[in-house]
Amino acid sequence: MQTITTFDQLERIPLSERKFCYISEALTATVPIQDTGELLRKIENTSSYISLKSSNQSNIFYLRSGALDRLLHAARIINRRTKGEMKIALTDTFRPLDLQRKYFDEIKSEIQDREGLSGDALWERVTQFIADPDGCPPHSTGGAIDCTLVQASGEETDMGTSVDALSDAANTWYPHIPSDAQRNRILLFTAMTDAGFVNLATEWWHYSYGDQYWAAYKGAPCALYGSVASLPTD
């Protein structure tokens, strides 16, 4: 998987081929933000097309209005293409910065212990899996989604790894996974991208709309969403 570190590199790669690349956080962090002011909306567990499956001990999920509309569109695509046999399961959406920092520190410690990295090399490796809370992490914007596919019954599907796996096998296009898992990843990818999201190539489960990664990937002049300070009071 190619890592993109400059806009000159990125501009030479056709949009159709960018799905195979990882755009470094150091680069995406330079994209300007012009926040639309869209509000966070709570995702209710009432849709027959979406399941809520928290990975952070919270059963409350929020997204910006534009991202939520696109998620519902993707969920309908999955329903149609599988004849109702599968649906999207959300594991994480909006994430407050204090929780982002907790996750970042935990993952940094795990990778440091496992791979023996330090300094810039450690930061670059860690940010392949989680954004630095000192920047504008995608999950803090309300535009990022961690998701998987489940059967209509709620049973897990084979995606090759678990959500949040810290390994190269988590790369969306990693070739050495079972064929069923590859098909499931492609099904999720095509539905989400058809709905307007972009995928983070190091994480098959992570999709975003409107944040800095999305803007860099799409070549947009600015991101639509910055970090949200607090949840709605509803």
Asked if residue 73 belongs to a known ligand binding site, the reply is no
Strand partners, 86: 151
Asked if residue 113 belongs to a known ligand binding site, the reply is no
DSSP tag of 27: H
Tell the burial category of 11 from Cβ atoms under 10 Å away from its Cβ (0-12, 13-18, 19+): exposed
The string of DSSP codes covering 135-196 is S--HHHHT-EEEEEEEETTS-B---SS-TT--SGGGSTT-SSS-HHHHHHHHHHHHHHHHTT
Dihedral sign of CA atoms 130, 113, 123, 103 in order: positive
- Which of 11, 155, 156, 203 is labelled catalytic? 203
Residue 220 to residue 139: CA distance in whole angstroms = 19
Annotated catalytic, 85?
no
Alpha carbon separation from 117 to 21, 47, 111, 125, 168 (Å, rounded): 22, 44, 8, 8, 16
- Beta-carbon count within 10 A of 34 CB: 12
Q: Which two tokens stand for residue 215?
A: 């803007």
Asked if residue 211 belongs to a known ligand binding site, the reply is no
Name the residues annotated as catalytic: 203
Annotated binding-site positions for Zn(2+): 139, 146, 206
Annotated binding-site positions: 139, 146, 206
